[in-house]
Amino acid sequence: MAVLTELNLYPVKSCAGIALREATLTPAGLMSQHIYDREWMVVDQQGRFMTQRDFPRMALVTPRLRYETLELRAPGMLRIEVPLDLPHPDDARVVHVQVWDVTVPAYDCDETTAAWFTAFLGVPCRLVRFHAEAKRLASSKWTGDVEAPTLFSDGYPMLVISEGSLADLNARLAAQGRAALPMNRFRPNVVIGGVEAFEEDYAASIAIGDAVLKPVKPCARCPMPSVDQATGEFGPDPLDILQTYRANPKVDGGITFGMNAILLRGEGTLLRVGQDVSLTLDF
């Protein structure tokens, strides 16, 4: 029996995630306390997104959703709190920021928050928040006739990985005398147990309660899985193992692990860890 084993929310793109027992499904991904996945993002002085690919210490920025604020902690830094309420239109400072080749408006957070991230990451940068009127859609090449909104994710509202896929990789690493990797190296939103390795690759749909997800694009991996999420440092890269059996012609030979997914049905459904999951396979 397939079961939902993890729900992970990443309020700030490329920073640490929050493991949830329950989360609300929206077309733009998981939501908790009215906060969406990747609702905030760190940008450089040109407004371009920053990630662990170049700044692995971002993994050490740990968010926590409090009653009225997003609390951020990092080693050697005093904690800082960012308001959860959206700024009043008269007070909002709007900037234009870039995620890959897409530019969208965003709310600029205050100078104190910018100074905090600048001090921790060692480069001038700022924290921004997705604008309430901004619109960014996943590629219709993969979503077809479904308009799938996303915020500051790399491209899709959700990433789904099965425990079996990680177990398969870890068995291959062990055969080479290498240490097992935790799931957080791959930063999924939804983790499923009780299915065969890479079964998510062949799922036409994934039903959880009243909701139906559709895996649409294999997730081509960058070097980020080599970042130890506990230390914020680069370590052994699993891509050398993955490339021996996970090159995917659907993404021009990219090394894939996990499936990007969109919501087909069930907006507002509350997902809970431990729920039964049903995969409809499409070989």
CATH number (domain holding residue 144)? 2.40.33.20
Question: What's the predicted TM-score (pTM) here?
Answer: 0.96
pLDDT along the chain (283 residues), means of 10: 97 98 98 97 98 97 96 98 92 96 97 98 98 97 97 98 98 96 98 98 97 98 93 93 96 97 98 98 83
Buried/exposed 188-199: b ≥16 CB within 10 Å, e otherwise = bbbbbbbbeebb
What pLDDT is attached to residue 34? 94
| Pair (125, 251) in one structural domain | no
Element holding 212 (H helix, E strand): strand 211-220
How far is 203 from 148, CA to CA, in rounded Å? 18
What pLDDT is attached to residue 223? 85
232: containing domain = 3-30+138-281
Query: Does residue 84 sit in helix, strand or coil?
Result: coil
| Pair (179, 277) in one structural domain | yes
From 114, 130, 146, the end of a domain falls on 130
| Pair (41, 85) in one structural domain | yes
| Pair (65, 145) in one structural domain | no
What pLDDT is attached to residue 239? 94
What pLDDT is attached to residue 96? 98
What pLDDT is attached to residue 90? 84
Tokens of 227: 């970042």
Any idea what the Cα angle at residue 258 is, between residues 276 and 261, rounded to 5°?
65
| Pair (266, 154) in one structural domain | yes
Element holding 173 (H helix, E strand): helix 163-175
The domain tally of the chain equals 2
